[in-house]
Structure 1
Amino acid sequence: MNNSTQFDAARQARRITEQAVSWYIEQQEPLTERQRVAFLAWLRASPRHVAEYFAVVQMHGDFKAAAALKTLTVEQLVDQAGRDNPVVMFPMVGSAIRKEHVARPGRARRMAMRAGGLAAAAMMAWLGIGYWRDANGLVERSFQGDVAAVRAVTLPDGTLVQLDRNSVIDVHFDKRFRRIEVIKGNALFDVGKDMRRPMLVNVGGHVLQDIGTVFDVKRDASGDTLTVISGRVRVLNAADESKQGGIAALLSADPVADLTTGQQISLSVSGVSIKQPAQVAKVTAWLPSEIRFQHETIGNVARRFNAYTSKPLVIENGSIADERISGIFHADNPQAFAAYLATLPDVRVVEERDRVRIIASNQTDTKAGHL
């Protein structure tokens, strides 16, 4: 196989993987009839599609995603698996296979299972996903940004992390602390609330303690930079953790610096720079210029806007936060999004000096004027 052929094969394999991931994401919400027909047609088009989709499902441990295949003719997939290239069968399909096939799988199906495992491993490597453990609040995982686009990751505690291209973070949560280490690149954090477990972000020789905030960390050859978009971040000396007392000693030590909304500092092994006013638009220039959302909750969309503004949108009503909407907005215009929310039934927008509050229209509020 020449280089050109190998390149074409790799490109096709990646395209199938991207399609499988896209279909998996689509099925986090019920498919429309048109989507269901398109999904089944995509599966029937090639055994490789079936194998790759199952690899994605297997990787996430989410076998509910295979439920859509109940309407697919079992015989079609089983016969196709025997005739064509190895295919991994879905668990939802397996119950309809003849008992002798289950008791003594043929060579094609044994190869299919092996291929499915390899596909899952390749998929995990391509997505930059490492080991994941989530039991009793314990988490260990690595995330890597995509090659060509910004990647958004929501952690189990509700923390939203946006990763620039090829950026890498390591996540370590235990029963007492939530820790994230920025290995390289650019990462923007909107930290989830967990009063029992402080959030600590390691950046080289320093530790950032979140105190309710949105902040950006940049690591490159020229040094490390911390920018607070909104809220407050405390900068601690990582060396204090190595002293007797560990993390307790770290948290009780005097901070190297305290930053609030719109402030920025440089970090290095020799210390930290003087705090400077941040140009938020410049700092967040690596983020997408548009915010696109399809059937997404208002709460999640508001958090995405908060990465661009020092005046965050705060959704105070749970019912409003859970309502799902679709649309496209310029990322640097949260005012337009707030104005749109004000047009929704039973929603009121209240503008304050340091935030924009989204409340229920029947909620009494006399502290500020309306947006």
Structure 2
Amino acid sequence: MNSSNKVVPLHTSNSIDDEASLWLVRLDNGSLSRQAKKDFKAWLAVDKRHLVALKAMADVWNDMDEVLSMITDEGSSENISLWPILTPVFKPLMLAASVSFLAVLLWLTVPEGVQKNSYATVIGQQLDTTFADGSIIHLNTNTVIETEFSKDKRIIKLIQGEALFDVAHDPNRPFIVYAGDRLVQAIGTKFVVHIKSENIQVTVTDGKVKMSKVATDTPLSDIKELNNTIAQADDVFIVKGEKVIANNNQTPILTHIKTENLQRELSWLDGKLIFDNETLFDVIEEINRYLDITIVLKDPSLHALRMSGRFDLGDSEALIEAIELSFNIQSQRIDSNKILLTKKIKT
């Protein structure tokens, strides 16, 4: 998460809890110097309450005991990546960083010079991250990625969800996104990759990318730079204003996108969802991605109804009200997690 290795200084006036929280911030940088590791072990050894405080702040993770035993082992060289959003302890840090995302703990044993991290958003959240190379990643709702940066390459694994990649040019380090069974290599560009249940979609908003097929679950360390001078079977070059939909074992489908349609597809970046004469089924499917409740269309005859509109992300009440008024539909809350839409019964 933190792109720098800046060390947060400890102050003797801080309480044990304050010191523990600051150590977690230092660990969040992903790597500690040899001296910092010695300082950390010394801090743990000074007072048994230090370890207790550290555990208390990280007890959200089931394997913290094993984790702590690893970092206090003299022979340990693991790098640590923590996402300190444990409220209320880290609430001030979250506000200062303007970051809201799912807490994740990863222990990463990596070769020298390789930086690994993971990032995630929960339903309804977005996250912008700028890396040391200047590249920017915008994560959409319910998205998880892993990153592996080295002196030779920059690899992003999109595990689920949708992300926009604004790639900083670096001819010596290819930028490759791995999603499902596809690799997408940037050729100085800005593009979106979206993993859906049935396919993988790549939309280029600037520049050019190359999509290639790869074995599912390929380790990031085994991913090599794509040869952009030779086109293999299933390879697709995608340029600005184009979109490719790739299904397993099927030829990818390339389409051109009008400027206004592209703006609608990227409206989530501005906290909006825009629909233009789209089926109610598709509208509900899209809006459900951003809600912690599920809207269900009970009657199949409602699926083909057409709808247009502009809505704030997460504003389910406004959407449901618009549907009720437009199509003579009524809503019924089934439980805390589900709303049912049905035809209004005439009286």
Q: TM-score, normalised by structure 2?
A: 0.50
Q: Which has the higher strand share?
A: 2
> Which has the larger share of helix?
1
TM-score for the superposition, normalised by structure 1: 0.47
